[in-house]
């Protein structure tokens, strides 16, 4: 997969326009199978694992798990848990919505 150069970053407006297109593309996917097919081809195995792990981190924080439990289960540092907690507080309703959906999925999948 091509790497993005940090030595030659895009102009802020260009980057924002590209992100908007990405978000529109993701939101247009009709179901989880389409999302899976797209993301598996679009991201590396490591990027997918990182996103899944990050989502699990947020879910565990919302469930009020202790730092040590999260750190042990996900192999992350206390700083990582702390930073994620701060992000959740700033993002508010958007995190709440997706995490509620995750909890529903967890119940269905067992």
Token pair recorded at residue 39:
């993301």
Cα angle for residues 73, 75, 79 (degrees, 5° grid):
110
How many domains are there within the chain?
2
Range scoring the smallest mean pLDDT among 23-32, 42-51, 55-64, 85-94: 85-94
pLDDT tens string 65-90: 999 999 999 999 999 999 999 998 88
Length, in residues, of the chain: 110
Same domain, 23 and 74: no
Same domain, 30 and 69: no
Task: Output the pLDDT for position 51.
Answer: 93
In a domain, 5, yes or no: no
In a domain, 27, yes or no: yes
Same domain, 71 and 102: yes
* Structural domain harbouring 50: 44-110
Same domain, 74 and 95: yes
Q: What stretch of H or E contains 34?
A: helix 32-42
Same domain, 48 and 92: yes
In a domain, 37, yes or no: yes
Global pTM value: 0.75
Same domain, 70 and 89: yes
Same domain, 37 and 59: no
């Amino acid at each position: 997969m091509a790497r993005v150069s940090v030595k030659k970053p895009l102009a802020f407006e260009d980057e924002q326009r590209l992100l908007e297109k990405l978000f529109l593309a993701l939101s247009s996917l009709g179901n989880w199978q389409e999302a899976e097919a797209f993301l598996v081809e679009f991201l590396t195995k490591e990027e997918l694992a990182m996103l899944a792990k990050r989502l699990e981190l947020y879910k565990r924080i919302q469930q009020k798990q202790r730092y040590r439990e999260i750190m042990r289960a996900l192999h992350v540092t206390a700083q990582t848990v702390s930073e994620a907690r701060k992000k959740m507080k700033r993002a508010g309703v958007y995190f709440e919505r997706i995490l509620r959906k995750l909890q529903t999925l967890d119940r269905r999948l067992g």
